Structure 1
Amino acid sequence: MLTKYRSIYSVSFAPLYIESLPIRYPLTLYFYEHDFIITHIHKNILELLNQPNSFTDILLSTMICYYILKRPLMKGDRNMKIGVLGTGFGAYHVELYSQIKDVDTIYVFGRNSEKLENLKSKFGIQIVTDIDEIMETNDIDLVDLCLPNALHRKYAIQALEHGKHVFCETPVAYSMAEAIAMQNAKQKSGKQLMVDLFLRFEHAYEILADITQKGEYGNIHKIQIQRYTPPYWGDLGKTKIVTDLMMHDIDFISYLLGMPNKIEATKTVGKEGQCAVSALCSYDNVFAENNSSSMMPNTYPFAVSYEVIYDHAVVRYYEDGYQDHMDTKLTVFTDGCRKDLPLLDNNCYDKAIHYALDMIQTTEKPKNDISDALVSLEMALKIKDLIL
């Protein structure tokens, strides 16, 4: 659940402002509990980037000084070593790590020699065909776990026992027992175990979390959140759709509201076993409706959306992803006006990885900690039980 009065933002500024400064770019800034600066960036980022003026220069200088004070290690100074397990979605993680100057070496474990050689030619990675080699390499800072979900428990625990931080793909596990074992290993090791709860880093969802946390439009009363897809992703039938598709939105509901008092769910199964599920999570004077479907026709976009009712406003967002373009819009409706909010064109997966690399430098609890993933997993498993 959100911690009140604590905000974390990551904003990458255009090279236009950085070229003349004696620091490397793109510059990532993190601000803690500086609401004036955060709010100004949050609501006026496009104006800041497109209309330079003396106030902008002063503001940017202030933020850069703050960054230097809070983050003495500049980009490219940390020489980090990463071990990536898996060459499926792990290949995309490798691409993201290869663009981070803090990352000096990337070791990649896989069983497909063609994929490994391709990654080596593109990104200069170190090929590993024995997981033990990654576990026993002492100077690897972080193990990024992109293996099949059933293997998460085994290799997360093994990495933690070898003194390594872990960044694990979602879902963290398929059972509470497995996830709790991972959490126990994390606590024993003193290392970070983070989960790729990527919606927490998606800009439209960051805005919603900020609005909710600050009570900008009063109390929240209803969330409707949706995720619809054509059958692109293989088996998303009744045994997989909750943990492999709905999980992302379930996690965001838990991030905003915590564990519900009551969960109800229903499903329908269509052709080739694809499925649609609707879940209702009830809290004190607020409820969240979560709808997901893998039954959409091939011409339908990969579509995500939310609509949230507050005392004094409705906030509505949609993203329709087609093969050749994407349509997005975030709008706030009040009695007095309708306002479209600007959205940054950033990558939530990239932000989550940058955040993970920062958090392994601290002992603070991350906002994507294994304990947060346990809450959303428990909710997901309850929904799954209701529809089976």
Structure 2
Amino acid sequence: MKVALLGTSIAQAHAAGFKAHPDVEVIIYGHTPAKAEQMGARFDYPVTTDLDAISADPSIDLVDICLPTRMHTEHILNALRAGKHVLTELPLAPDMAGAHRVVEAAAASDRQVFVDMFNRFVPSSRMLVEAVTERAYGRLLQLTVETNTALLWPGFSIGLKQIPLEQMLGDLDTIVRALGVPGDIEVAKTAKDSEAAAVDALLCYPDALVRCSTSSMLPMSYGCRGGYRAVFENGTLACAFIMGADGRTDSEITLYTGDGAQPLDVPHVDQYSAMIDHVLECLNGKAANMIGPDTVLASLDVALRVDRAVNG
């Protein structure tokens, strides 16, 4: 299989995931030759600055889009027209109109489209969704989901304009999968500068108090840390994680009940690698696509509501 990886910033996390598959050939596209060459040298992949050549190359099976959000819809549709499978970094599109165009194009194509909802492969996120939907500890009363990060990827800003769609979407997706679409959304925000900021969103549900919080104002030494606290009728789940720029995550989950504190087993997962493994398994006919564009519409709509509240 041959993959064209478009981008040189967050694309580095995808490149690391493909390195685990020596049978996959990767070519890197970068708009800036120096950045493309630097990334190519790091991962020992060839590079190009010619997008048209990628579309015309019949040997390329999958186009992996890690370009700015405003470019996602255009490049997904172009890749489908060229007969390629597509993996796109989240969000699927910068607006719901573009998202629906992609869903329709994917449905009319014999190619597969994947959205990098890497949070769906994180065991701690799955455990939370299952605990809520199966009422393992009774009804959910309160949920706080939090991510705090430094600017880990060179050239990748996470200011107020980026946070709702590029940083909060994964956490919002976990919340929506567990609880459905919220009613009203209330937002508070602050900014360090145009590249780093923080947003708190209060999501209104009939029977649960839910808060989603993200900050990108941490120093590089902090890395990326976060987790959740889910308060149920019969217990509390508390998760803490730390993630590096390579996507490797270490998590701890503790269940607190009237009988005391019980650490729960959490399998170690490199979330970007797990996502890429899933994509390759789907393309090889070994799995069904669980991150297709139609599956992310509700979460994207919620993130866009947060974005409108933050940015107008």
Aligned to 1:275: 197
Q: 1:296 to 1:311 in 2, by over 3 A?
A: same
Aligned to 2:177: 255
Aligned to 1:27: none
Name which of structure 1's ranges 163-172 and 262-271 shifts more when overlaid on structure 2.
262-271
In the alignment, does 2:253 pair up with 1:312?
no
Contact 2:142 2:232 in 1 (8 A): yes
Contact 1:143 1:167 in 2 (8 A): yes
> TM-score, normalising length from structure 2?
0.86
In the alignment, does 2:11 pair up with 1:84?
no
Aligned to 1:286: 208
Deviation at 1:213, TM superposition (A): 4.0
In the alignment, does 2:269 pair up with 1:371?
no
CA RMSD of aligned residues (A): 2.9
Q: 1:274 to 1:359 in 2, by over 3 A?
A: same
2:61 to 131, 141, 155: 141
Contact 1:203 1:348 in 2 (8 A): no
Show structure 1 runs of 5+ residues with no match. Answer: 1-79
1:331 to 248, 254, 257: 254
* Residue aligned with 1:111, SS: coil
Cα distance in 2 for partners of 1:358, 1:322 equals 25
Q: Which has the higher contact order (CA 8 A, sep 6+)?
A: 2
Q: 1:297 to 1:155 in 2, by over 3 A?
A: closer
Deviation at 1:89, TM superposition (A): 2.3
Cα distance in 2 for partners of 1:269, 1:121 equals 35
Contact 2:228 2:239 in 1 (8 A): yes
Aligned to 1:99: 20
Larger radius of gyration: 1
Q: Which amino acid aligns with 1:255?
A: R
The equivalences for 1:178-197 within 5 A come to 178-197=98-117
1:172 to 79, 83, 92: 92
2:136 to 208, 211, 216: 216
Cα distance in 2 for partners of 1:115, 1:220 equals 47
Q: 1:263 to 1:313 in 2, by over 3 A?
A: same
Show structure 2 runs of 5+ residues with no match. Answer: none
* Residue aligned with 1:381, SS: helix
Deviation at 1:283, TM superposition (A): 2.6
Q: 1:106 to 1:260 in 2, by over 3 A?
A: same
Deviations 1:240-266 (A, max 9, x none): 222222222112212222211222222
Contact 1:245 1:292 in 2 (8 A): yes
